[in-house]
Amino acid sequence: MKLKLDLHPLYNKGGEIDKALRGIIDEAIRKKATEVEIIPGKGSGQLKKKVLRFLEQKEIKALYHRIDKDAKISSLSSTG
């Protein structure tokens, strides 16, 4: 199962971005999703950097085993 999170509507709402990211991680764990696709959108790349910083947090990093990055998306693969 693959889950998708499109952050376009939240691009300038820092607290909501963190809540959405944590929410999709929690949902992936609950549903035993094998992949999560996070779409930060176009622009200066600041949102993508924010997403990557979120994913590098020790407690979050323990929840997945791989990040594949491209210009538009980040995909996570679950640990379980």
Instruction: Determine contact, residues 39/4, Cβ cutoff 8 Å.
Output: yes
Q: What is the pTM of this model?
A: 0.79
Separation between Cα atoms, residue 23 and residue 4, nearest integer Å: 11
Structure-model confidence comparison of residues 25 and 46, the more confident one:
25
Q: Which of 43-47, 58-62, 64-68, 69-73 has the highest mean pLDDT?
A: 58-62
Instruction: Determine contact, residues 23/33, Cβ cutoff 8 Å.
Output: no
Separation between Cα atoms, residue 78 and residue 38, nearest integer Å: 14
